[in-house]
């Protein structure tokens, strides 16, 4: 027996892991970030082998972790958590600083960050566990609390993509009424609200949204949406 509800009882935060290799920068959302030992201060991250961030951390041997605050909205999380840096410039609309190890570090919607040098790697199948010694850390002036994984699900109504460490299929999908929900990221299109930021006025029926419209959070097309019943 393997009851998925027990996995949902595990606690995490929401983080952005960034790195830079051969002049290329990238970053992704990760919930699996944890302190391993205190001396020397050491953290671990688990990255999917398919992710560009994985490729670049493997090359560079360094990574930074920004602690995401509760101020982060779904478009922000969607950019780093549902889109790949191979096709998206994730740094276009956000603030970064360059850290001591030369990586871009996300400071938008962040309460603090740390930088680490990889000391160990462990192949765990779909993911690689990178263990890194922390060489720099800074708290940022931020009025908001660090976002927990529970807050992401309960308040932001966020979903977990297949490349995440904690993906458990679609068992957590909730039912609703009269709306269309993205099967990839959980974004809900509500005809009463439309999507004015992307030229879809309030009151636009689902059928009348132009075919080229994409999910504002994760970028997939209309075919990836299901009606919420
Ligand atoms: C809430 C959330 C948690 C996630 N946690 C992880 C994680 O711990 N490890 C991981 O490899 N991917 C995780 N992901 C998925 C990556 O962020 C996602 O695959 C991203 O698009 C990879 O981008 P890249 O290819 O540009 O590196 C998570 C996504 C979300 C939304």
CA-nearest residue for atom 13, ligand 1, is 164
Structure tokens that stand for 57 in this block: 């951390």
CA-nearest residue for atom 29, ligand 1, is 81
Q: Which residues contact 112 (CB under 8 A, 6 or more apart)?
A: 66, 67, 137, 138, 139, 140, 142
C-beta of 78 in contact with ligand 1 (< 6 A): no
Structure tokens that stand for 65 in this block: 């972790």
What is the rounded CA–CA span in Å between residue 227 and residue 100? 48
DSSP classification of residue 199? T
* Distance (Å) of CA 52 to CA 20, 104, 214, 218, 225: 11, 15, 22, 16, 26
C-beta of 44 in contact with ligand 1 (< 6 A): no
**Spatial CA neighbour of 99 closest among 64, 56, 133:** 64
DSSP 3-state of 22: coil
* pLDDT for res 175: 34
* pLDDT for res 8: 78
Q: Which residues contact 124 (CB under 8 A, 6 or more apart)?
A: 46
* pLDDT for res 163: 84
What is the rounded CA–CA span in Å between residue 222 and residue 200? 13
Residues 163, 171 contacting (CB under 8 angstroms): no
| pLDDT per residue as tens digits for the range 53-105 | 999 999 999 999 999 999 999 999 999 999 999 999 999 989 999 999 999 99
C-beta of 128 in contact with ligand 1 (< 6 A): no
User: Any alpha helices (H) in the chain, and if so which ranges?
Assistant: 4-8, 52-60, 74-81, 149-154
* pLDDT for res 203: 85
Question: Ligand 1 center to residue 48 CA distance, Å?
Answer: 8
Question: Ligand 1 center to residue 204 CA distance, Å?
Answer: 32
**Spatial CA neighbour of 132 closest among 103, 91, 98:** 103
Beta-ladder partners of 45: 33, 130
Counting from 1 in the atom list of ligand 1, the atom nearest the Cα of 152 is 1
Pocket test for ligand 1, best of 48, 92, 103 (most atoms within 8 A of CB): 48
C-beta of 17 in contact with ligand 1 (< 6 A): no
Reported pTM: 0.83
Counting from 1 in the atom list of ligand 1, the atom nearest the Cα of 47 is 11
pLDDT tens digits for the chain (229 residues)? 888 778 878 999 999 999 999 999 999 999 999 999 999 999 999 999 999 999 999 999 999 999 999 999 999 999 999 999 999 999 998 999 999 999 999 999 999 999 999 999 999 999 999 999 999 999 999 889 999 999 998 888 888 888 888 886 543 333 334 689 998 888 999 988 899 999 998 888 898 999 999 999 888 999 999 998 7
Pocket test for ligand 1, best of 51, 147, 166, 172 (most atoms within 8 A of CB): 51
CA-nearest residue for atom 15, ligand 1, is 164
**Spatial CA neighbour of 52 closest among 89, 78, 77:** 89
């Amino acid at each position: 027996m393997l009851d998925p509800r027990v996995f949902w009882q595990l606690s995490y935060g929401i983080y952005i892991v960034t790195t830079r290799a051969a002049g290329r920068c990238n970053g992704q959302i990760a919930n699996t970030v944890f302190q391993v030992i205190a001396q020397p201060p050491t953290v671990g991250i688990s990255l999917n082998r398919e992710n560009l961030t994985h490729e670049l951390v493997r090359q560079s041997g360094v990574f930074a972790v920004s602690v995401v605050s509760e101020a982060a909205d779904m478009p922000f999380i969607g950019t780093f958590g549902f889109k790949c840096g191979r096709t998206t410039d994730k740094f276009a609309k956000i603030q970064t600083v360059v850290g001591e190890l030369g990586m871009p570090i996300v400071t938008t919607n962040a309460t603090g960050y740390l930088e680490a040098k990889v000391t160990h790697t462990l192949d765990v199948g779909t993911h690689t566990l990178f263990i890194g010694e922390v060489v720099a850390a800074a708290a940022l002036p931020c009025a908001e609390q660090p976002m927990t994984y529970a807050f992401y699900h309960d308040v932001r109504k966020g979903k977990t993509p297949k490349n995440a460490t904690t993906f458990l299929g679609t068992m957590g999908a909730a039912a609703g009424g009269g709306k269309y929900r993205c099967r990839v990221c959980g974004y809900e299109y509500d005809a009463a609200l439309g999507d004015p930021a992307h030229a879809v006025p309030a009151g636009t029926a689902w059928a009348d949204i132009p075919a080229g419209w994409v999910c504002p959070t994760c970028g997939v097309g209309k075919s990836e949406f299901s009606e919420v019943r």
